[in-house]
């Protein structure tokens, strides 16, 4: 009798197991695509004034475009640390590009791997140490190079590979999907582009087309920062004053000498030598064939150019190379999406496209990022998940890169550690928009450092942005996002906004408590910074 009962239970158990596997959908693959410094203004799904990105747009056409996605700390390595740990910078400790990432922390890829996912990472990580939780990786050391870059590989040590970085990363990604993917496991792939990070070198096939184009100037190109505090005035991100002539605008060092143009920064010509100097003879000849005539023209024009002409010229040169380097990112994304479709993987693969932060494309006369102001605070986010996200949908809520870890873990059916601080975005994917946060917290630290953007933290709601700049100043700014979308008027001292300031200060204080940030921690990171004697150039 006992035996029969046991057998009965066994059969029941086995059939239950089978019915489970029949009904439970296969766990989704996850393709996480991130470009470095890719502004939403340079993705046509957001705005096609500057460039068409038909392939990146496919993700939004087949899925969801987030129009209010933002970061918690607008700079490269800290953003990546927030993404991997699901914790704000003050808790994961990677407050800027210099402090090392504490690798004893739990990151979501480790959890995916431990729960049966096959994991791979190709491209730019920028941590100073190797990623944990990956079966395979090939990453660039630090910032990496555009031409003939070196890679740190998990299995073959360091390798220098001939070619153009964006295309190499794309090839590695597709190659892994084709030849190394294990059919019986879901995968997590981190496909991470260096482009369009400074010094913005396009692929050869885009030189001619992009250097001929003229781009629409932003309305605030000649911003004088009146109506704002000392942080905007003192930032060193101006296209005319702070962009390198050789390294960024690609004026040959000897042409600078001939025209008597001094280096902008101590590494101006050095950056040119590092990037353009890494080309082989053939690549260099192709580059010179286009950038040589551009230099010739500049020699003729420069002596009669006004300051305003120079600013306009700088903007066009910047956009030609920045957007030119995005063209190959878009092509690469297209190839990977095509492969997913051809192989039948697309149906059960979540595709996420984002950047480590936003970027200024001449707005306020700037390049670079760091500020809580819109162009650097916001980040692109496009997500496709067949069967879950309705094609062509849009979400306007305040989602953050802080939310990625928990969202990805939830999609994989893996429980997120209780100390992660983000939100699971899957209800938003399904179109359920109730009970989601209505304010986000932001904190930037890397100061004094390259670009000289002061330390600040703040709260952002759909309607307002309240910011506190500290360390060597004690200044507050308030922006009315609805009535002043370009953020040109600090209304902090305007009596009409006194109530708003009072309420937002209280909310900001609550957010600091909620996320476990504090004045003691602000001071702790200042002390650590001073101890190290850091004046950073951004983690070379």
Interface with ligand SGN includes 126 (CB under 6 A)? Answer: yes
Among 29, 30, 36, 176, binds Ca ion (CB under 5 A): 36
Among 71, 95, 271, 511, binds ligand SGN (CB under 6 A): 271
Cα–Cα nearest to 191, from 33, 354, 346 = 33
Contacts of 95 (CB under 8 A, 6+ apart): 73, 78, 89, 445, 446, 525
Cα–Cα nearest to 247, from 312, 200, 294 = 200
Other beta carbons less than 10 A from residue 153's beta carbon: 17
Alpha helices, H only, 364-497: 374-377, 404-411, 426-429
Both structure tokens of 498? 């006194």
Q: Which is nearer to ligand SGN, 252 or 479 (CB)?
A: 252
Q: Between residue 97 and residue 116, which ones bind ligand SGN under the rule CB under 6 A?
A: 97
Among 33, 56, 65, 75, binds ligand SGN (CB under 6 A): 75
Q: Which is nearer to ligand SGN, 197 or 443 (CB)?
A: 197
For Ca ion, which stretch binds (CB under 5 A), given 240-248, 353-361, 451-459, 504-512? 353-361
Interface with ligand SGN includes 451 (CB under 6 A)? Answer: yes
Interface with ligand SGN includes 36 (CB under 6 A)? Answer: yes
Among 43, 76, 140, 290, binds ligand SGN (CB under 6 A): 76
Interface with ligand SGN includes 538 (CB under 6 A)? Answer: yes
Compute the distance between CA of residue 405 and CA of residue 85 in angstroms, rounded to an integer.
7
Interface with Ca ion includes 96 (CB under 5 A)? Answer: no
Other beta carbons less than 10 A from residue 375's beta carbon: 24
Compute the distance between CA of residue 86 and CA of residue 69 in angstroms, rounded to an integer.
15
Among 30, 34, 35, 37, binds ligand SGN (CB under 6 A): 37
Q: Between residue 136 and residue 155, which ones bind ligand SGN under the rule CB under 6 A?
A: 143
Q: Which is nearer to ligand SGN, 199 or 223 (CB)?
A: 199
Q: Which is nearer to ligand SGN, 37 or 223 (CB)?
A: 37
**What phi, psi does 356 have (nearest 5°)?**
-75, -15
Q: Which is nearer to ligand SGN, 94 or 198 (CB)?
A: 198
Compute the distance between CA of residue 441 and CA of residue 358 in angstroms, rounded to an integer.
16
Question: 434 vs 59, 66, 425, 428, 431, CA distance in Å?
Answer: 24, 16, 12, 9, 9
Interface with ligand SGN includes 379 (CB under 6 A)? Answer: no
Interface with Ca ion includes 76 (CB under 5 A)? Answer: yes
Q: Are strands 29-35 and 187-192 parallel, antiparallel or unpaired?
A: parallel
From the CB of 387, what's the least distance to ligand SGN, in Å?
Answer: 35
Interface with ligand SGN includes 375 (CB under 6 A)? Answer: no
Measured in residues, the chain has a length of 540
Cα atoms found within 13 Å of the Cα of residue 64, Cβ hemisphere only: 26
Cα–Cα nearest to 382, from 4, 6, 21, 45 = 45
How many residues belong to the site for ligand SGN (CB under 6 A)?
18
Query: Are the C-beta atoms of residues 141 and 123 closer than 8 Å to each other?
Result: no
From the CB of 262, what's the least distance to Ca ion, in Å?
Answer: 28
Residue whose C-beta lies closest to Ca ion:
76
Interface with Ca ion includes 199 (CB under 5 A)? Answer: no
247 binds, among ligand SGN, Ca ion, none (CB under 5 to 8 A by kind): ligand SGN
Compute the distance between CA of residue 45 and CA of residue 303 in angstroms, rounded to an integer.
40
From the CB of 74, what's the least distance to Ca ion, in Å?
Answer: 8
Interface with ligand SGN includes 321 (CB under 6 A)? Answer: no
Q: Which is nearer to Ca ion, 62 or 368 (CB)?
A: 368
Q: Which is nearer to Ca ion, 76 or 177 (CB)?
A: 76
Q: Give the bridge partners for 153, in sequence order.
A: 138, 157
How many residues belong to the site for Ca ion (CB under 5 A)?
4
From the CB of 107, what's the least distance to ligand SGN, in Å?
Answer: 19
Query: Are the C-beta atoms of residues 461 and 446 closer than 8 Å to each other?
Result: no
271 binds, among ligand SGN, Ca ion, none (CB under 5 to 8 A by kind): ligand SGN
Q: Between residue 185 and residue 244, which ones bind ligand SGN under the rule CB under 6 A?
A: 197-199
- Which run of H or E residues covers position 322? helix 307-342
Query: Are the C-beta atoms of residues 411 and 30 closer than 8 Å to each other?
Result: yes
Contacts of 400 (CB under 8 A, 6+ apart): 69, 70, 71, 72, 422, 440
Interface with ligand SGN includes 74 (CB under 6 A)? Answer: no
**What phi, psi does 449 have (nearest 5°)?**
-165, 180
Compute the distance between CA of residue 292 and CA of residue 18 in angstroms, rounded to an integer.
68
From the CB of 444, what's the least distance to ligand SGN, in Å?
Answer: 11
Interface with ligand SGN includes 403 (CB under 6 A)? Answer: no
Q: Which is nearer to Ca ion, 354 or 421 (CB)?
A: 354
Interface with ligand SGN includes 450 (CB under 6 A)? Answer: yes
**Residue linked to tokens 């005035």:** 233
From the CB of 484, what's the least distance to ligand SGN, in Å?
Answer: 26
SS3 475: strand
Cα–Cα nearest to 446, from 526, 515, 377 = 526
Q: Which is nearer to ligand SGN, 326 or 450 (CB)?
A: 450
537 binds, among ligand SGN, Ca ion, none (CB under 5 to 8 A by kind): ligand SGN
From the CB of 538, what's the least distance to ligand SGN, in Å?
Answer: 3
Contact set with Ca ion (CB under 5 A): 36-37, 76, 356
Contacts to ligand SGN by CB under 6 A: 36-37, 75-76, 97, 126, 143, 197-199, 247, 267, 271, 368, 450-451, 537-538
């Amino acid at each position: 009798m006992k035996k029969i009962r046991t057998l009965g239970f066994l059969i029941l158990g086995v059939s239950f197991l089978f019915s489970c596997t029949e009904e439970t959908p296969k766990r989704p693959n996850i393709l996480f695509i991130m470009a470095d410094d890719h502004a939403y203004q340079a993705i046509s799904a957001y705005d096609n004034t500057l460039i068409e990105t038909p392939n990146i747009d496919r993700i939004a056409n087949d899925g969801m475009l987030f129009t209010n996605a933002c970061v918690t700390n607008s700079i490269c390595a800290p953003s990546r640390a927030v993404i991997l740990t699901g914790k704000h910078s003050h808790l994961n400790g990677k407050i800027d590009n210099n402090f090392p990432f504490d690798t004893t922390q739990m990151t979501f890829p480790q959890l995916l791997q431990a729960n049966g996912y096959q994991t791979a990472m190709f491209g730019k990580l920028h941590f100073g140490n190797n990623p944990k939780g990956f079966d395979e990786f090939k990453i660039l050391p630090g910032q990496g190079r555009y031409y003939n870059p070196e890679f740190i590989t998990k299995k073959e040590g360091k390798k220098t590979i001939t070619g153009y970085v964006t295309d190499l990363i794309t090839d590695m990604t597709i190659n892994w999907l084709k030849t190394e993917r294990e059919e019986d496991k879901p995968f997590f792939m981190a496909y991470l582009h260096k482009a369009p990070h400074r010094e913005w070198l396009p692929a050869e096939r885009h030189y001619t087309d992009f250097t001929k184009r003229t781009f629409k100037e932003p309305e605030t190109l000649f911003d004088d920062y009146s109506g704002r505090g000392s942080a905007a005035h003192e930032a060193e991100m101006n296209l005319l004053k702070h962009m390198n002539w050789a390294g960024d605008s690609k004026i040959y060092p000897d042409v600078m000498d001939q025209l008597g143009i001094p280096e902008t920064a101590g590494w101006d010509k050095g950056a040119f030598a590092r990037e353009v100097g890494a080309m082989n003879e053939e690549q260099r000849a192709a580059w010179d064939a286009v950038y040589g005539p551009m230099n010739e023209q500049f020699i003729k024009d420069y002596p009669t150019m006004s300051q305003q002409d120079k600013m306009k010229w700088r903007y066009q040169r910047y956009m030609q190379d920045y957007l030119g380097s995005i063209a190959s990112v878009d092509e690469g994304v297209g190839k990977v999406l095509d492969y997913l479709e051809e192989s039948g993987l697309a149906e059960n693969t979540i595709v996420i496209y984002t950047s480590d932060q936003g970027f200024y494309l001449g707005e306020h006369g700037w390049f670079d990022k760091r500020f809580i102001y819109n162009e650097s605070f916001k980040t692109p986010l496009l997500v496709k998940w067949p069967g879950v996200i309705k094609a062509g949908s849009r979400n306007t809520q305040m989602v953050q890169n802080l939310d990625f870890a928990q969202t990805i873990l939830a999609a994989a059916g893996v429980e997120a550690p209780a100390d992660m601080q983000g939100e699971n975005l899957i209800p938003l994917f399904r179109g359920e928009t109730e009970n989601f946060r209505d304010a986000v917290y932001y904190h930037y630290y890397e100061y004094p450092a390259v670009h000289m953007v002061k330390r600040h933290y703040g709260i952002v709601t759909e309607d307002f942005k309240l910011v506190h700049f500290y360390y060597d100043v004690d200044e507050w700014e308030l922006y009315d996002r609805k009535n002043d979308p370009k953020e040109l008027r600090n209304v902090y001292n305007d009596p009409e906004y006194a109530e708003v300031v009072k309420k937002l200060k209280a909310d900001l204080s609550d957010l600091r408590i909620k996320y476990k940030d504090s004045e003691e921690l602000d001071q702790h990171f200042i002390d650590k910074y001073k101890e190290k004697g850091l004046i950073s150039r951004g983690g070379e």
